[in-house]
């Protein structure tokens, strides 16, 4: 990375500056990013170099080396190579500087390996600290405020450089329309213009966070009834990677030397501490909550924030109230992808099973005896409801825990509650504010152990009470549940911390989002240089930064130092902790997790090391035992439940079917029921109901992009993914196997899978399923009309797994894009549930490698492997980028499906590729072991020309029709495949237009389609020219008499049926202004011109019968240029001016007829000649029946010769003619014949 991009040209010091930067990179072992290089040159992709967008650890097997190029103005003209010095001994950090916060001295670092039980860490090892390095470019903040959306849009009608120069506080913060974004690069400014453009058109009232852009015309915190701000505190989750170091340094807040989820004790304390720090930080930013709520342990954080405890008693009072004492009931939990109302209906037949969690409209949890829960799960799966039996038992939040309440009540009575909540604090047990009476609070604490969690109702009640902005006070996914509850209701959800971004950067974005909604955050407090200090704007204690503990005076009895989560800074002498037994002398201190790290596959969830101090204390101290049990159970419940999304697409590890089908140990003793199967003598049959209501994740597998919120789901064309079909096949095979053997086995392979047709999800379809046994362990599964395959089952997965495939590093090139770019650029059409490519590792002439994120969506992980083949096609082929699977030779599974969220390496080897197909093998590796191998994955490649690629991926901003000078566009069919025509149709036709297309005779369909493509693209081109935002073709309906009657449209093409003009209108509320539409077509070509229809001239024309003021026509170029049908031979003395004018004779005559509004067979061509120097402009002298016989009219016509090349057919040439001349503002004497001269 260049130094010049960071600090500018340093002239003669340029070489030294680069040397300093390289030396610091070696010293800190960090690879530094290339600042201000958002879009590297494409040629870099062909080299062994790569441009970093963020600092990354510098991993190396040998000595690290850095090169410095210093050539140019400075005169150094040298290349210098630096090598790091060999380690002189075990490194250690200096003791904390007295008077400085701990966070400034010992920032979190990656955790070193934990010594085994047979080794002890030395004292020097315990002092190991590596100073973290963060390289941050100052971020610009662009804030614009206006009274109306139109005014806001006009403020964006300048170039990007001017907008960046204007970054800063707006001159006048008007209450009306606001826009805010951080780091206004070209991509975000384009998104901002798109967002504001949609607001101006009424397509959406606000744009909240997509593309890191916030805009609103109706601020949630403004207006006569402003909304309220709610702080929502997260609990324990599977991943804990807070980005808090820079926040702590900036605000002078101390953090412990570690913030990690390495064990449950540290994780629980860390979550509470992070929320505590962020709560105080937000208040320093002038962001105060009007309401508080929490999930799981997060409700404790909310109680702290509400001021219900004294800070010095928080640790003892809250953690001593652990509810777990003794045995818990033997009950199972099951997560259901359905509403709580649906769940209760299903529970009518299961009196021992109760609802324990109502999380969101499509996410609930039930609890009951294992046999009853297993039976219920099998029944619901046959109804195509996703069910997951959760891997823990406790009876928490159910009546089954009531026998344990006496002991639990004794614990809660020891809580040191001091005062009622100072801010409205909401309980997820009652979905109402906490009571003011402290005894009632203690009673409520007990009730939440035996009553369902009503998180959905709590968020709904808070919204009804006026909460509109929900700030997630910590990292994690809690905001996703809130979004799922509120869905389309106007609201804002934003996190105060994110594992994907530095802490101050996320706070800056939160401030921008709140300002857009008419909030008043203090931006200056984030930009002030150096630590802010301990000033606190909130109502509670000042949170003064503490200095490291000093030694006690001689003769004074020392006492333990209690950690106070309310303190802004604290340091504890490790020796004191060792004396108290709170830190083992042989235990290496754990370091904080690093941003972006992922959990290692294969580690047991939430396992506590046997040598952990809390484990040792738990064997002697009942309070420590209770604390350990509480944190263990809370982590399992909260982390697992929060992974389940609000939209019903299961985030928990699904009950495996394909790709880890079933459990290796088999189902419970009574097994799943096969009630959905019907025996027919040779096997079984069943009916599979496919729809987006029963399989909502298929909305993220929709082939056709449409505007956000498009109400007609069929227009998006959601279909069942091929790999999801494989999943369903395995599911049915296991049902048949159980019906046959009454014992549970697992699917270990699926073979000879063939896909005959797309299986649509909208409109809903019922699929006939047949199952035929082939031997003792195979079942042929057929989805009639759609797919078939052979599923193999076994008692266990194979004992041996295949080795990982080798990588040809010399042939591999670095990736050219990130996983996020793959979907943002729509190289893949998939929505979030199927967006599982995390990052690319490289690609070569016959392979591609990447890291995938496992998903609970059925088939999504295997589908992501197929997406890599699409990436490979674009990297190594020139066209035919669109490809879909048609056949799998075989898929073999060697273990259960990877846990959702875990990272899986995928290596795809391309065996063969030609113009029509691609065949590949794929290997999936979970951790260090092969999970699955796909043999013979065959994709069919579709003949979509490369020039249509942009229009195919982004139809809202590109045309399939070709624009021409003069404003008209030309649409032709340049593909040889009817399947490609179907894909294009999906982008251009809504459901109503598609129905009309299907009703046409086959001979008319192509021309009918081309006319609509031409008309819609002509209109959209006009809209874009007037700075309209993106317009999807389906947002425009074309009303065209072509094909409405008669066997063909020839008369209307020639102008004989213009009494019924072509018109357009907006669809589903899209505000489309009226246009004059002129269209002409032949079977393989259509041309169209759209002109804004406005003003008195249009009304005058309408009163005279709707004569078109412009003539547009298309005709084949005749073999004999001297004549043609519908024309009269010119006189021998006419001025032909060469052969070209006569090639245009027929088209020009037809265009003039249309301009005059008469039948094309009636005008008489008297003369045709070149008009001026333009070879494509001709002058046509014609006699019109309704004009004076002695006064023939002269027309100027602009002509063009075009050619179509239908695949497999000879080229065809046509002449396109358009009358030109008189401006639209001329008086009525010229309106009769536009372009007419006397």
Compute how many other C-beta atoms are within 10 angstroms of the C-beta atom of residue 423: 17
Between CA 9 and CA 13 the distance in angstroms is: 9
Between CA 478 and CA 302 the distance in angstroms is: 14
> Average pLDDT by consecutive 10-residue portion of the chain (1238 residues)?
72 80 86 78 72 75 82 72 68 30 30 31 33 54 90 88 80 76 88 89 86 90 89 76 86 69 57 87 92 84 85 53 53 87 90 89 88 91 83 76 71 68 90 89 80 88 94 87 87 91 91 93 77 40 32 36 37 43 35 32 41 59 62 55 43 33 33 62 92 93 92 94 96 90 86 94 94 93 96 94 89 87 92 94 93 94 96 90 94 95 94 92 94 96 87 91 89 83 90 91 90 94 77 93 56 45 90 90 92 58 49 79 42 43 78 75 66 69 58 77 80 87 35 28
Six-digit token pair at 109? 């670092």
Fold of the 945-1093 domain:
Ribosomal Protein L22; Chain A (3.90.470)
Compute how many other C-beta atoms are within 10 angstroms of the C-beta atom of residue 307: 20
Helix (H, G, I), strand (E, B) or coil at 798: coil
- β-strands 1177-1183, 1112-1116: how paired? unpaired
Do the first three CATH levels of 235-326+400-527 and 660-941 match, i.e. the same topology? Answer: no
pLDDT of residue 102: 30
Q: Are the beta carbons of 698 and 720 closer than 8 angstroms?
A: yes
Q: Are the beta carbons of 944 and 952 closer than 8 angstroms?
A: yes
Q: Can you state the angle between helices 370-382 and 340-347, rounded to 10 degrees?
A: 110
Matching CATH number, 660-941, of 3.40.50.2300, 1.10.10.10, 3.10.129.110, 3.30.2130.30: 3.10.129.110
Six-digit token pair at 986? 């999906």
Sequence-ordered strand ranges (E) for 914-1012:
917-926, 929-941, 962-963, 969-972
DSSP result, 987-1032: HH--HHHHHHHHHS-HHHHHHHHHHHHHHHHHHHHHHHHTT-----
DSSP result, 823-847: HHTTSS---GGG--EEEEEEEETTE
Q: Can you state the angle between helices 478-486 and 455-464, rounded to 10 degrees?
A: 60
Looking up tokens 């101290």, which residue turns up? 621
Domain ranges within the chain, ordered by starting residue: 141-216, 235-326+400-527, 660-941, 945-1093, 1095-1238
User: 665 burial class (0-12, 13-18, 19+ CB within 10 angstroms)?
Assistant: exposed
Q: Are the beta carbons of 114 and 120 closer than 8 angstroms?
A: no
Compute how many other C-beta atoms are within 10 angstroms of the C-beta atom of residue 803: 8
**Nearest C-alpha neighbor of 243 from the set 261, 267, 259:** 259
Six-digit token pair at 589? 């201190």
Q: Are the beta carbons of 152 and 196 closer than 8 angstroms?
A: yes
- The helix/strand count (H/E) of the chain reads as 33, 42
- β-strands 492-495, 363-368: how paired? unpaired
pLDDT of residue 731: 94
- Asked whether the CA dihedral 656, 657, 660, 666 is positive or negative, the reply is positive
Angle, vertex CA 653, rays to CA 733 and CA 766, nearest 5 = 40
Helix (H, G, I), strand (E, B) or coil at 143: strand
- Asked whether the CA dihedral 602, 606, 608, 613 is positive or negative, the reply is positive
Looking up tokens 């100052």, which residue turns up? 138
Give the chain's largest Cα–Cα span: 130
Six-digit token pair at 477? 């996914």
Residue 940's Cβ-side half-sphere holds a number of Cα atoms within 13 Å equal to 13
pLDDT of residue 264: 40
Looking up tokens 């880890």, which residue turns up? 660
- Asked whether the CA dihedral 1153, 1159, 1164, 1165 is positive or negative, the reply is positive
pLDDT of residue 300: 79
Between CA 971 and CA 844 the distance in angstroms is: 37
Compute how many other C-beta atoms are within 10 angstroms of the C-beta atom of residue 914: 10
- Kindly report the backbone phi and psi dihedral angles of residue 1034, in degrees, each rounded to the nearest multiple of 5, phi listed first: -65, -15
Between CA 968 and CA 600 the distance in angstroms is: 59
Sheet of 363-368, strand order: 354-360, 363-368, 332-336, 387-389
**Nearest C-alpha neighbor of 1238 from the set 1197, 1190, 1198, 1199:** 1190
User: 1170 burial class (0-12, 13-18, 19+ CB within 10 angstroms)?
Assistant: middle
- Kindly report the backbone phi and psi dihedral angles of residue 455, in degrees, each rounded to the nearest multiple of 5, phi listed first: -65, -40
- Asked whether the CA dihedral 533, 534, 538, 539 is positive or negative, the reply is negative
pLDDT of residue 360: 84
Between CA 881 and CA 745 the distance in angstroms is: 40
For residue 1217, CA distances in Å to 38, 1211, 1236 come to: 46, 20, 15
- Asked whether the CA dihedral 1146, 1152, 1153, 1154 is positive or negative, the reply is positive
Angle, vertex CA 154, rays to CA 152 and CA 159, nearest 5 = 115
Q: Give the length of the chain.
A: 1238
Between CA 931 and CA 904 the distance in angstroms is: 9
Six-digit token pair at 638? 């909260």
Total-model pTM:
0.48
Q: Are the beta carbons of 466 and 228 closer than 8 angstroms?
A: yes
Q: Are the beta carbons of 902 and 928 closer than 8 angstroms?
A: no
pLDDT of residue 621: 65
Six-digit token pair at 1016? 């819609």
Six-digit token pair at 255? 């953090």
List Cβ neighbours of 1071 (8 Å cut-off, separation of 6 or more): 201, 202
The distance from CA 255 to its chain's CA centroid, rounded to whole angstroms, is 33
Between CA 656 and CA 381 the distance in angstroms is: 12
Fold of the 235-326+400-527 domain:
Malonyl-Coenzyme A Acyl Carrier Protein; domain 2 (3.40.366)
β-partners of residue 230 are 291, 470
pLDDT of residue 1051: 36
Q: Are the beta carbons of 197 and 153 closer than 8 angstroms?
A: yes
Looking up tokens 């340049």, which residue turns up? 974
């Amino acid at each position: 990375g260049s130094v010049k991009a960071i600090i500018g040209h340093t002239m003669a010091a340029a070489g030294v500056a680069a040397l300093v930067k390289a030396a610091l990179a070696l010293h800190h072992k960090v690879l530094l990013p290339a600042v201000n290089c958002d879009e590297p040159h494409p040629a870099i992709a062909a080299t062994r170099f790569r441009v970093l967008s963020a600092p990354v650890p510098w991993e190396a097997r040998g000595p690290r080396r850095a090169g410095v190029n210093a050539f140019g103005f400075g005169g150094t003209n040298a290349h210098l190579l630096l090598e790091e010095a060999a380690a002189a001994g075990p490194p250690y950090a200096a003791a904390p500087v007295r008077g400085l916060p701990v966070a400034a001295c010992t920032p979190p670092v990656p955790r070193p390996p934990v010594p085994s039980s047979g080794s002890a860490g030395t004292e020097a090892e315990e002092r190991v600290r590596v100073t973290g390095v963060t390289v941050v470019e100052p971020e610009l903040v662009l804030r614009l405020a206006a009274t109306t959306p139109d005014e806001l849009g006009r403020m964006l009608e300048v170039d990007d450089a001017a907008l960046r120069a204007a970054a800063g506080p707006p001159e006048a913060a008007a209450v009306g329309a606001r826009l805010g974004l951080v780091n206004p690069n070209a991509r975000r400014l384009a998104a901002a213009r798109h967002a504001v453009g949609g607001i101006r058109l009424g397509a959406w009232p606000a744009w909240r966070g997509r593309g890191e852009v916030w805009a609103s015309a109706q601020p949630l915190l403004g207006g006569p009834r402003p909304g309220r701000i709610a702080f929502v505190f997260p609990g324990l989750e599977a991943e804990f990677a807070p980005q808090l170091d820079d926040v702590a340094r900036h605000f002078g807040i101390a953090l412990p030397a570690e913030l990690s989820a390495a064990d449950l004790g540290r994780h629980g304390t860390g979550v509470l501490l992070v929320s505590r720090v962020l709560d105080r930080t937000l208040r320093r930013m002038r962001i105060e909550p009007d309401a508080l709520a929490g999930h799981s342990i997060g409700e404790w954080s909310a109680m702290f924030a509400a001021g219900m405890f004294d800070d010095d008693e928080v640790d003892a009072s809250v953690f001593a109230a652990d509810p777990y004492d003794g045995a818990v009931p033997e009950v199972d939990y099951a997560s259901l992808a359905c509403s709580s109302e649906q769940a209760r209906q299903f529970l009518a037949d299961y009196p021992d099973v109760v609802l324990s969690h109502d999380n969101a409209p499509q996410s609930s949890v039930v609890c009951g005896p294992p046999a009853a829960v297993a039976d219920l799960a099998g029944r619901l799966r046959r109804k195509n409801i996703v069910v997951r039996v959760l891997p823990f038992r406790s009876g928490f939040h159910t009546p089954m825990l009531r026998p344990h309440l006496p002991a639990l009540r004794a614990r809660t009575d020891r809580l040191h509650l001091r005062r009622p909540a100072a801010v409205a604090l909401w309980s997820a047990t009652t979905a109402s504010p906490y009571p003011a009476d402290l005894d009632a609070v203690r009673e409520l604490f007990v009730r939440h152990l035996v009553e369902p969690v009503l998180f959905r109702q709590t968020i709904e009640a808070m919204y009804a009470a006026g909460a509109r902005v929900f700030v997630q006070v910590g990292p994690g996914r809690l905001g996703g549940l809130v979004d799922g509850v509120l869905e389309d209701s106007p609201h804002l959800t934003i996190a105060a911390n994110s594992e994907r971004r530095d802490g101050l950067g996320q706070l800056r974005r939160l401030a921008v989002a709140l300002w857009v909604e008419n909030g008043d955050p203090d931006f200056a407090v984030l930009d002030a240089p150096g630590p802010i200090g301990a000033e606190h704007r909130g109502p509670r204690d000042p949170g003064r930064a503490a200095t490291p503990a000093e030694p006690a005076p001689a003769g004074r009895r020392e006492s333990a130092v209690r950690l106070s989560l309310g303190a802004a800074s604290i340091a504890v002498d490790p020796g004191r902790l060792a004396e108290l037994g709170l830190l083992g002398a042989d235990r290496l201190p754990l370091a904080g997790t690093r941003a972006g790290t992922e959990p290692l596959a294969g580690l047991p969830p939430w396992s506590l090391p046997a040598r952990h101090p809390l484990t040792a204390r738990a064997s002697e101290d009942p309070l420590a035992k209770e604390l350990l049990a509480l944190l263990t159970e809370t982590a399992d419940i909260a982390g697992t439940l929060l992974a389940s999304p609000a939209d019903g697409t299961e985030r928990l590890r699904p009950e495996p079917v394909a790709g880890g089908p079933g459990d290796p140990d088999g189902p419970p003793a009574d097994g799943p029921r096969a009630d959905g199967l019907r025996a027919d003598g040779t096997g079984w049959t069943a009916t599979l109901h496919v729809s987006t209501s029963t399989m909502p994740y298929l909305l993220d597998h929709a082939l056709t992009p449409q505007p956000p919120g498009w109400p007609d789901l069929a227009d998006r064309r959601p279909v069942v993914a091929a790999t999801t079909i494989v999943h369903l096949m395995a599911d049915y095979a296991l049902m048949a196997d159980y019906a046959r053997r009454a014992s549970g086995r697992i699917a270990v392979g699926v073979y000879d899978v063939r896909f005959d047709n797309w299986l649509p999800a909208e409109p809903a379809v019922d699929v006939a399923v047949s199952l035929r046994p082939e031997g003792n362990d195979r079942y042929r599964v057929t989805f009639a009309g759609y797919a078939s395959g052979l599923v193999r089952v076994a008692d266990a997965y194979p004992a041996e797994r295949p080795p990982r495939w080798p990588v040809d590093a010399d042939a591999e090139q670095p990736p050219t894009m990130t996983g996020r770019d793959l979907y943002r650029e729509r190289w893949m059409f998939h929505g979030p549930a199927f967006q599982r490519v995390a990052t690319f590792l490289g690609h070569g002439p016959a392979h591609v490698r990447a890291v995938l994120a496992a998903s609970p969506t059925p088939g999504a992980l295997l589908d992501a492997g197929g997406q890599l083949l699409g990436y490979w096609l674009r990297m190594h082929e020139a066209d035919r980028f669109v490809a879909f699977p048609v056949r799998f030779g075989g898929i073999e599974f060697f273990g259960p499906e990877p846990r959702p969220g875990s990272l899986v390496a995928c290596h795809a080897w391309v065996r063969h590729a030609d113009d029509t197909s691609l065949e590949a093998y794929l290997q999936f590796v979970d951790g260090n072991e092969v999970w699955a191998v796909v043999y013979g994955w065959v994709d069919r490649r579709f003949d979509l020309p490369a020039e249509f690629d942009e229009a195919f991926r982004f139809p809202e901003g590109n045309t399939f029709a070709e624009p021409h000078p003069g404003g008209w566009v030309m649409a032709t069919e340049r593909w040889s495949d009817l399947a490609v025509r179907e894909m294009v149709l999906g982008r251009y036709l809504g459901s109503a237009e598609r129905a009309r297309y299907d009703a046409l005779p086959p001979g008319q369909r192509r021309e009918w389609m081309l006319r609509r493509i031409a008309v819609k693209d002509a209109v959209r081109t006009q809209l874009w020219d007037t700075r309209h935002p993106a317009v999807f073709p389906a947002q425009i309906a074309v009303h065209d008499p072509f094909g409405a009657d008669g066997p063909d449209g020839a008369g209307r093409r020639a102008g004989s049926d213009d009494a019924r003009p072509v018109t357009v209108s907006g669809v589903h509320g899209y505000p489309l202004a009226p246009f004059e539409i002129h269209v002409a077509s032949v079977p393989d070509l259509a041309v169209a011109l759209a002109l804004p229809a406005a003003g008195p001239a249009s009304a005058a024309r309408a009163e005279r019968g709707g004569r078109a003021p412009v003539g547009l026509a298309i005709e084949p170029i005749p073999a004999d240029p001297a004549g043609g049908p519908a024309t009269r031979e010119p006189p021998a003395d006419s001025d032909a001016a060469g052969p070209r004018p006569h090639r245009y004779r027929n088209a020009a005559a037809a265009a003039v007829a249309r301009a005059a509004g008469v039948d094309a067979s009636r005008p008489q061509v008297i003369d045709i000649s070149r008009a001026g120097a333009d070879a494509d402009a001709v002058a046509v002298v014609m006699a019109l029946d309704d004009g004076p016989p002695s006064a023939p009219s002269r027309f100027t016509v602009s002509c063009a010769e075009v050619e179509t090349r239908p695949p497999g057919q000879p080229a065809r040439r046509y002449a396109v003619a358009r009358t030109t001349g008189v401006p639209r503002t001329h008086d009525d004497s010229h309106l009769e014949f536009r372009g007419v001269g006397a």
